[in-house]
Structure 1
Amino acid sequence: MLIKGYDDGPLVAGESLLPRPGFWSNYLMAICGNEPGASYVPEWFGDDGADADDLSEVLFDPERWPVFRAPAQGGPGVVVIYRNLLGDYGIDYLLTHPGRSHAQHVASWEGDLSGTGLSWDELIRIADTPATGEGVKDSAARLLLVLPLLTDPDLPDTAPARLTAALSEAGAPQDTASTTAEHLLAQLTRRSQHDPTWESPLSGA
């Protein structure tokens, strides 16, 4: 797999990892990790500790960097890359634009998001308009995949229910999915409130 700017990275398609036990807890639990007094466990996402540990070895393998593609019909999509460089680990988020030959790096996750994010409405548009070709097609998985890019303090009233449904479809227990959704959104919106200069990378596109 070739992506401009990652010529030396051993990129591999990662979409087949999404249904595996342990994926979503590995991917999303970091968002919750800085909330004071909270204790998050893989079971919140329908996983157990052994599954999460096993999959973390796959996700963070320095010899194989998983790539997750969420191209969107008629507009920018997102590519997520596990940048497993020794001493420089992170998750990179790139926007893909129709008609452009290269992806635009917009953010990285290294314990927190650096760069620019997207509004809730932009995340929903990407989640609900999968393009043809390779990549993640399921709207629930697409929403969860782009969720760390949320940088929007003003969410619609429908956001918790929509995220709860996505978590449930991904395997989160019915009795905890809504609580997990609320914690994820609270952490993301709390972060964005500290950045009054927030601006979507899609602004003016």
Structure 2
Amino acid sequence: MLIKGYLDGPLVAGESLLARPGFWPNHLLAMCGDGACAERPVPEWFGDDGADVDALSEVLFDPERWPVFRVPAEDGPGAVVIYRNLVGDYGTDYLLTHPDGSRAQQIAGREGDAPGIGLTWHELVRIADNPPAAADGAQDGAVRLLLLLPLLADADLPEAARERITVALTATRAPQDTAATTADHLLAHLERRSRHDPTWESPLSGSRTAGQRSGTP
């Protein structure tokens, strides 16, 4: 697989992994791994267990095959999530893509928190809710929302955000009786962001973006 503007790695389509047990803990528990959550993050928040997580980790973090999760959008920029399995430099890269197929633009890499860069809730929902009918990639709205949730950097969330994330979690096998609490855990990292941080930027607003691993300008 080739992605214009991204020069690293043996990329492979990863969408078939989205329904595998252990995917969502691998993808989302890192949001709570830096002390943002009062409780120790556990895979059971997503309806999985440690064995599920370990088994899928071997696939997700294979240096010979870097899974790519495509989230194209009908009416504007979409996104791509890449598991960058470079030995000694593991991480997750997030790229913006454009409907005309021009070069992708890296906006963030997750080796922890990425302050100052991210999407507003409105931007995140716009991408999640507008999959092109004929494009390759993730089509389900709940899956698309959760794939891009680590990019959320909006401290002024609407009341509906928590419920929307709760519904997305239950749609991807999280236990219904604890999904709302899991949503709170996932959003807890936003409380550490200043509501008036002058360095906060949305890459979709045309402002400056993060340093580019991909080599894009």
Number of matched residues? 204
> Displacement, 1:73?
0.3
The equivalent residue for 1:21 is: 21
CA-to-partner distance for each residue in 1:135-180, whole Å, 9 max, x for gaps?
0000000000010000110000001100000000001001110000
Q: Which moved more, 1:137-146 or 1:127-136?
A: 127-136
Higher relative contact order (CA 8 A, sep 6+): 2
Gaps of 5+ in 1: none
The equivalent residue for 1:173 is: 175
The equivalent residue for 1:153 is: 155
> Displacement, 1:26?
0.5
The equivalent residue for 2:31 is: 31
The equivalent residue for 2:55 is: 54
CA distance in structure 2 between the partners assigned to 1:196 and 1:148 by the alignment: 20
Contact 2:5 2:105 in 1 (8 A): no
Contact 1:108 1:115 in 2 (8 A): no
CA distance in structure 1 between the partners assigned to 2:100 and 2:40 by the alignment: 45
Contact 1:95 1:105 in 2 (8 A): yes
Letter of the structure 1 residue corresponding to residue 167 of structure 2: A
CA distance in structure 1 between the partners assigned to 2:86 and 2:198 by the alignment: 32
Q: Which moved more, 1:42-51 or 1:190-199?
A: 190-199
Letter of the structure 2 residue corresponding to residue 172 of structure 1: A
CA distance in structure 2 between the partners assigned to 1:114 and 1:87 by the alignment: 23
More strand as a share of residues: 1
Structure 2 counterparts to residues 1-205 of structure 1, below 5 A: 1-35=1-35, 37-113=38-114, 116-131=117-132, 132-187=134-189, 189-193=190-194, 195-204=197-206
After TM superposition, the score normalised by the length of structure 2 is 0.89
Gaps of 5+ in 2: 208-217
> Displacement, 1:115?
6.2
Letter of the structure 1 residue corresponding to residue 187 of structure 2: L
Contact 1:113 1:148 in 2 (8 A): no
CA distance in structure 2 between the partners assigned to 1:105 and 1:92 by the alignment: 7
CA distance in structure 1 between the partners assigned to 2:206 and 2:108 by the alignment: 18
CA distance in structure 1 between the partners assigned to 2:82 and 2:124 by the alignment: 18
CA-to-partner distance for each residue in 1:16-73, whole Å, 9 max, x for gaps?
0000000000000000111264211100011111000000111111000000000000
Secondary structure in 2 matching 1:160: helix
Contact 1:108 1:114 in 2 (8 A): no
> Displacement, 1:199?
1.4
> Displacement, 1:95?
0.2
Cα RMSD (Å):
1.6
CA distance in structure 1 between the partners assigned to 2:115 and 2:109 by the alignment: 5
Q: Which moved more, 1:86-95 or 1:98-107?
A: 98-107
